Structure 1
Amino acid sequence: MLLQAVHHIAVICADYSRSKAFYTDVLGLQVIREVYREERDSWKLDLALGNQYIIELFSFPDPPPRPSHPEACGLRHLAFAVADIEAAVAQLQQKGVSTEPLRIDPHTQQRFTFFADPDGLPLELYEVI
């Protein structure tokens, strides 16, 4: 198998409008395409970060909640690289998003923090210098 890259990450949300606003207005991802799939009563929103397709945001009627705490099996979190973590945290907080205190990765000495999307999906900011 000759893997080349991660193509996209699929996220299912409980409230499509709220999650669309979070990923576009708060995080600043760009809409590539938005499709309503009537047969499934489902929205599919393709989002990019810069020029890279990164997230498929789906809505489905009554999705079950995601177990998250304590550490559940499955996707642990989605991490975004930032150049200035303090500025990124300040921008999130200005938009009403709470973040955990900054931590330092003991292996790389890089700073990082966690926050959550509207459905509690754990997201991370990881400072890359």
Structure 2
Amino acid sequence: MKSFILGAFFLVTFHLSQAQVKLNHIAVYVEDLADSKSFYSDIIGLEEIEEPFKDGLHIWYKLGSSQLHLIEGEWEEPTINKNNHLCFSIEDMEGFIENLKAEKVPFENWPGESGKITNRVDGVQQIYFQDPNGYWIEVNNDF
């Protein structure tokens, strides 16, 4: 009986500590902060927020209750795979794609077909493209 009570206490404690975890921010290392700022502000449409460093090497964006931090530094070319990507959800896929085309940002579906949209089995549409540093971005309409 004692081990059952301890086990139940452990499960409840473990569950409560899990429930208290939230995503604070995602940091993305960039080669050129100005290019990346333009991309994430103008193409993705993120809202810039104040950052505490004020050193010209950081830009912070609001992501719901989390943040995206862009950090410029001595650049080393990363190994980039489409499986490792940031994903943003939007309401208007058609309008977003029109903006990508106007800004001459190429996009593709998951298999890599240029200008195509992936239609998931659950009805969500997805597109993929790369930021100025080569990082993969997914945008979907699961808003």
User: Partners in 2 of 1:77 and 1:46 — Cα distance?
Assistant: 18
Q: Which residue of 2 aligns with 1:123?
A: 137
Structure 1 runs of 4+ aligned residues shifted over 4 Å read none
Residue 105 of structure 1, aligned match among 120, 137, 141: 120
Per-residue deviation, 1:84? 2.1
Using structure 2 for the length normalisation, give the TM-score.
0.72
The answer to whether the 8 A contact 1:46-1:55 is kept is yes
Listed as ranges, the matches of 1:35-54 within 5 Å are 35-37=53-55, 43-49=57-63, 52-54=65-67
The answer to whether the 8 A contact 1:110-1:127 is kept is yes
Secondary structure, aligned partner of 1:114:
strand
Name the one with the larger strand percent: 1
User: Partners in 1 of 2:130 and 2:37 — Cα distance?
Assistant: 14
Does residue 87 (structure 1) correspond to residue 120 (structure 2)? The answer is no
Does residue 56 (structure 1) correspond to residue 64 (structure 2)? The answer is no
Percent identity between the aligned chains?
25
Residue 8 of structure 1, aligned match among 25, 29, 32: 25
Highest Rg: 1 or 2?
Answer: 2
In structure 2, stretches of 5+ residues that fail to align are 1-16, 109-115
In structure 1, stretches of 5+ residues that fail to align are none
Q: CA RMSD in A?
A: 2.1
